[in-house]
Amino acid sequence: MLELLARLELGPMFRALMRNKIGALLIALQIALTLTIMVNAIFMMQERSQQMARASGLDETNTFYLSNTVFAQDYNLKTALQQDLQRIRQTPGVVDAIQLNAIPLSGGGWSMSLQTKAGDDIEGTGSAVYMVDEHGINALGVELIAGENFQSSDIGWREIGSTKWPAKTIITKALAEAMFEGDWKSALGKTVYIDNHQPMQITGIINTLQAPWNGWNGVERSMLVPQQLDGKGSRFFIRTEPGRRDELMPVIEKMLAESDRGRIIRNVTSMEQTRDESYQEHQATNTILLTVIIVLTLITGFGIVGLAMFSINRRTRQIGTRRALGASQWQVMRYFMLENLLISFAGVMLGAAGAVGLNIWLVATFSMSPLSPVLLVIGIVALLIVGQLAVSYPALVASKISPATATRGRA
């Protein structure tokens, strides 16, 4: 072992480094800070990417929605709604359509608290509320994994300002797990209480349906309620056959607008667009973080190149002398590569501490989760490789210095 160390010239290398402490220290510090920023930035990107990758449960590529705002006086909302839905459902290419009170991922919606026991002071579980009719499961494209869908006889009419809830509900698996200690299957058929006292029976469980708020920690908890809504503003949610959404969006908008002049059809939006808008900030932040990581690594890399070039220029004669004394080109190159490895190693060790420190601060200030150690190791290895790559060109230049340089005067 000792012999190996001696062959790698670590001793002389270390003494040489000590003579130019500041130069080495600067590179080490730079690498340390780069690692600190890089690891935390990648971690922040990962968190966002994971959030964005969560499925909404909808058939996103083939669904869109629109707002229907009635302004005419003396308007029969109930009849008009059934007519509109019928017209949309009969349009060729449409799979199904419903009136929907809130759109997943859109940022605006209803939430209620559900309790397993009735009473005023009982802790409940928050859930998003989607009011649908018996076409809801088909129109949303969600998967029913237990129980059964609503019947048309279940669907009630909810007057404005009403606080009465129907007798049945279909909930997501995540909501069932949250209320029944992780055992979602046991939830089927159970009675839960909404608004503290009103009983509702769970008649079905769906796999996934996200709430309208992507930043909410209960985003997977939703419930379907068999009701249609009174009111002059409502939304229609429409699912088309695969690939026909873009063609049908203007068709249905025009059909509805022209069929009835007492209302405005607006905000015709696809679910894909809603997802993009919902995660626009996440996406933008990730792009910026990625740019920061790339530019930072480049700057550090070029900094290493620049400093190594200077140090080699200053040591031209020494290198020539070593070559003249029998050192091979490879040995010269190895010297500079190893020197960089030594400095980088000190840098990444310091940087690892910095990364953990910054993460602790971020966790405390911005409620982020703690860093995974795997990421830290990956960051360390990546930066060591960047250092080696950066120094390889100057080292190659150094190895090409002719032994004859030793005999010439100072360049």
**What residue ranges bind other proteins (CB under 8 A)?**
22-23, 26-27, 29-30, 33-34, 36-37, 40-41, 44, 69, 71, 73, 121, 159-164, 195-197, 231-233, 264, 266, 277, 280-281, 283-285, 287-289, 292, 295-296, 299-300, 302-303, 306-307, 310-311, 313-314, 358, 362, 365-366, 410
Q: Shortest distance, CB of residue 25 to other proteins, whole angstroms?
A: 9
CB closer to other proteins out of 3 and 121: 121
CB closer to other proteins out of 290 and 381: 290
Q: Shortest distance, CB of residue 327 to other proteins, whole angstroms?
A: 24
CB closer to other proteins out of 40 and 101: 40
Q: Shortest distance, CB of residue 302 to other proteins, whole angstroms?
A: 6
CB closer to other proteins out of 9 and 230: 230
CB closer to other proteins out of 27 and 146: 27
Q: How far is it, in rounded angstroms, from Cα 133 to Cα 228? A: 7
CB closer to other proteins out of 43 and 184: 43
Q: Shortest distance, CB of residue 126 to other proteins, whole angstroms?
A: 12
Q: Shortest distance, CB of residue 108 to other proteins, whole angstroms?
A: 9
Q: Shortest distance, CB of residue 184 to other proteins, whole angstroms?
A: 27
CB closer to other proteins out of 33 and 94: 33
Q: Shortest distance, CB of residue 377 to other proteins, whole angstroms?
A: 21
